[in-house]
Structure formats: C-alpha cells, structure tokens
A and B are shown apart, each in its own frame.
Chain A
Amino acid sequence: MRKINKKETFQIATKGDLVQIHKVILTPGQRAENLPESTKAVPYEAWVKGFLLDEKAKVGDTVRIETFIGRELYGTLAEVNPVYDHNFGKPRPELLRIGMEVKKQIEMKRGAKP
C-alpha cells in the first residue's frame, strides 16, 4: 500500500465531504490459486469514492460513505477530497521532432491543399 504521509494522516473529513475509502478484499492467504509470486504475496485491495456519512473522521478511521449511485459502503478512510493528478507527462525528446521530420520527407508546402 502507498505510504501515507504525515500531512494526510491529519486530514479531517466532516459529513458530506468527498472521500476515498480503502478495503482489503482478500488477504494473501485468501487469494486465487495459480497467481504469479509477486501477486500472491500481496493482499487484494480496493478503493472507492463517495460522501462521508459519519459526522467527523480522520484518515485511517473506519467510516461509512454514500457512493455516487447512492449505495452505502464501509471502509478505512484513505483520502479526503481526492484529486485526479494524472497529467500529460514531461515533454518527450523522442516525440517532439517527429512532425517536422515527416513534413520534410513529404515536402508539404505551406498552404498546400489537403
């Protein structure tokens, strides 16, 4: 599991806040047979988002949430107001010049009809 940093540990959520809960679905011993070693050694885990139903909770507490379709779930509070932080990555030198290279190759003239 991802290491929870100190700042997150002190995050407090109040009723109605968007939170993410964590659940261990299967411990390593309960998992399916015939798994690769690296998979067999770790638990099977899940994260789900929803609105906090408890009055107040901090990261690590067992809480109840209402999901986006109105179902009630239990789990350990993992994050408060979780952010989508996937991005466009860094500029990649392997990609940046491809367009210029091929344009030269087919000798596209400025204003040429498509």
Chain B
Amino acid sequence: MNRDISYSSVMSRKKEILKNSMGLDYQQFEISPIAFDYEGLMNSGGYSLSEVQKIQKETGVGNTPLVELKNITKLVRSISAPGKGGRIFVKDEKACPSGSFKDRRASLSVHHAARLGFKGVIAATSGNYGAAVASQAAKYGLKVIILQEVYDSRKVGQPEILEKTRACEAYGAEVWQLTVGPELFYIMLLLLEETGFFTASLYIPTAIMGIETLGYELAQQVKEREGRFPDMVVIAHAGGGNVTGTARGLQKAGSHETVVVGASVDLRGLHMASDHDFNRKSFTTAHSGFGFPFLTLPDRTDVPRNVARGLRYLDRYVMVSQGEVFYVTELLAKLEGLERGPAGNTSLAAAISLARELEQDQILVVQETEYTAAGKRPSSQLTFAEENKVEVRRGDPRENVPGKVIVVPERAEQIQVENVNLDKIRQSYVKNAVEAARGYKPTEEDVRFLAEDSKSSVEFVRKAIRELGTEV
C-alpha cells in the first residue's frame, strides 16, 4: 500500500479510516447538521446491560466492593453544622483487573473488536485507560498499540504517565511515547490505516455501555444494604464518559432521584497543547482542561459523534484544587486503610465538601478509586511539581494557582468545592452547536435535541439561540 502519509493527506482520509476501524457507519444516525439519534447510536452494538455484565464477569471486571468510609464521615461531621454530614461510601474500583474503572470501559470495546474479527486494537490515552485496554487485549489474545502524550520537548515526563507506560508494557502493549500536541490523532489514524486494527476510542458506544454497569452496581449495592438508593453520586469528570456511563447505569437501576455531581481538578489557565505548560500540572486527567471543552463541544473527539455527553446527565459540576486531592488521598490511607492513587480521589475531595451539605441520614457515593504505584503518589507528584518550578506549601487551598502554586490544606474544613454555573456551560454548548452547523437554521427538532442533550428546556435553548441572533 503506497499511500501519502503526510499530515494533511492522512487527516483528509479521517472519515474513511475511522469507518473501517470501527465496523460502524455513523452516517445512519445523523438527523441534521446539529441533531443525531443518540440512543440509536448507543444501542448500535446490540448489547443489553445483562449481556455487558456477563461479558465483564468473564474477565473479572466489575463487582467491586462498596465500602463505607466511617472515619472520614466522622471527620466530616466534626466540621459540619449540627445534624449535617451525610454518610460517605466509596466504590473501590481499584479491584478491577488493571486497577481502575477503565477496565469496564475497555472490556466491552475489546470484546466487540474480537467479535468483529479485528486482530488488534489501538487507543490514544495517557490515563488508566491504556492499561485497561492492554489488559483486556491480553485476555482476548489481541494485539494492542497505546499512544501516550508523555514528554515535553526536553524529554521530561510526568511520573504518573511514565507509570502508565510501564503498566501498558507490562500487559504486552506496543507503546508510542509522544511529545505534547494534538498530532496524536494523526499518528493514530496513520497506525489504524497501517495495521487495520480496531479503534478502541474512549468515546464509542461500547466504551460508555461498559461503564453503565458501574452506576447500576452501586445503586443496587446501596439499595440492598440500606433499603434505598443513594442521594448523591460524585463522579470525576474529564471526557464525559465516566459521568455518562454511571448516570445511565443509575437510571437503568431505577435510581432516578440521585443527584449526579461531576468533579474536576481545577487547572484553568493552563493550555493543554502547550509544551511549556505540560509539566506544570500534577493531574493528567479528570481536570478542567478536559472537563470544560468536553461539555461545551462534546463532538470534538477522535470519532464522528461522541456518545460521552456529560452535559446530558450532570445535575451539578464542581471544581477542586490539586492540593485538596492530595490531602484527601492521605485521609483515605490514614483513616480508612485504603492507599489509592490521587487522580482517582478527585471525586472524594469534592465529596468531603458536599457531604457537609447533606443530612446525616443521607448517602453519598464516591464512585471510584484507582491503583497506586511509583509515580501515582502525592509524594511523587509534589516532588515533580517542585522540580518544575511549581511552589508547594500548606495553607488555604483558595490560594491555589494552577501551574504556579499547589496549596495542601491545613485542615479538613478548608476543603471547599467551587460550583460551576452549568447554565453558562449550556449556553456555550448551544452556541458551539449552532456555529459548528455553519449557517444552517436550527429546526424545532434541533431545539428538542439541544434541550435534551444539555439537560435544559426547549425555552432555554430557544432563548440561547435568539441571543446568538439566529432564528429557529
């Protein structure tokens, strides 16, 4: 095959390459330049929840313990108003084969790839997802290539990502360690074309369906133990898959009243494609640099339509700081005997603040933990931060400045989430959707789609469109 492999030429073949690498044509689900058949696309793989559970059980994915954090709850009550301080539970996803909930996300996609007859899978990720795909591929006997954004131009890599390289290689993956830049997508297309492998993108239907079991399981576990569904579930938000899959699972379990809260680490002000900023952050995922753009422009991904749509499911969205996450990672180890990786404790940091708003008989579930290892420890990440000219100290976490100062709280009561105005996000989402359609005039059907896709109302969307100077 003698194809032009220049950047522009490969990018121009994007549609064809992706179609071949998924065994799925997205065109059939398109309704207009704005709307598409979301549920139709989600169900295109033809898997029911019970089938997904069965597939996951075969490789030891899921059925993780739900642990009540009694000592942390006690601590929260000691800093709450009388009668306040909800019970905090955690879903110990570290118990999955490669050590995070990402095994759920990978399991169905890799199963699907094997079923369709692909010889291998490719995924672009610097997170736990790489190890999950590699682990599942090992089980199914498929070859696997993982693309990671690891180094800045000095070949300095974040310890957390270097650990993920190690984990992927431990599971037998060919790992491409890349420098900073969006051209990762170019390499992915190039390798998909070269190998004919399946694209195990984070944003395809099987990746999200795999997470539904997490929401379903936790709702069932709380119901069985306490006779009721959880009042609040806190979910780390980055690309939207964790929120989407978990919320859909809660709904499938019948847990409709549960408040779904997304939490991201605040890295606002740092440019995600900047070689200079790259090593000035201590978190490589679950942060605002992914959290915001994926809510306001969900389809800007490596697939034609992204089914990870956080805005469709979020009731509330909050920010926590890096120092707060490191602090609660210590609490989880010292008070609950669970030594876990910091990135997986993003939602726990938010939970400590949110539980103070709840009554003592209310139940809050933190829906994940992740494995820990060299590189994935607060000590490794703070050492690295200091080496990269980021100041580290204790104090009031409000003094945190992404990329400049990491402030580890002095006391638990200083942990305080910052609420993000979701209506503003919804307005940006509508604006981006209308602008991306380039001159196309939205119809009533589009308005209904946008309302549903942003968990708002037809009136809200109409008003947002009017403010753009466009008519329906």
Chain A residues engaging chain B, CB cutoff 8 angstroms: 1-2, 25-26, 30-32, 35-36, 38-39, 41-50, 67-71, 84, 86-92, 94-95, 98-99, 101-103, 105-106, 108, 114
Contact = CB atoms under 8 A, between A and B. Distances in A.
Contacts of B144: 69
A39 B274 contact: yes
**Main DSSP-derived SS at the B contact region:** mixed
Given A38-B274, A69-B145, A2 B155 contact: yes
Contacts of B186: 25-26, 32
B379 A95 contact: yes
B118 interface: no
Contacts of B153: 1, 42-43, 45
Contact of B178 (A42, A46, A91, A103): A46
Interface string B163-180: 101100100111111111
A98 B72 CA distance: 13
A26 B408 contact: no
A98 B78 contact: no
Given A46-B178, A105-B78, A26 B183 contact: yes
A92 B382 contact: yes
Contacts of A106: 71, 74-75, 78, 335
Given A25-B187, A48-B177, A99-B335, A89 B330 contact: no
Nearest to A85: B162
21 contacts: A25-B186, A26-B7, A26-B183, A30-B6, A31-B183, A32-B181, A35-B182, A36-B275, A44-B181, A45-B151, A45-B153, A46-B176, A46-B178, A46-B179, A68-B172, A69-B174, A86-B157, A86-B380, A89-B380, A101-B411, A105-B78
A38 B276 contact: yes
B379 A91 contact: yes
A36 B272 CA distance: 9
Contact of B379 (A39, A47, A89, A102): A89
A46 B330 contact: no
B283 to A, nearest CB: 15
Contact of B330 (A25, A50, A69, A95): A95
**Main DSSP-derived SS at the A contact region:** loop
Given A45-B151, A69-B172, A98 B327 contact: yes
A90 B382 CA distance: 9
A43 B84 CA distance: 55
Interface string B281-316: 000000000000000000000000000000000000
B56 interface: no
Contacts of B394: 94
B333 interface: yes
Contacts of A94: 323, 326, 382, 392-394, 408
Contacts of A30: 6-7
B275 A38 contact: yes
Contact of A46 (B177, B182, B383): B177
A64 to B, nearest CB: 15
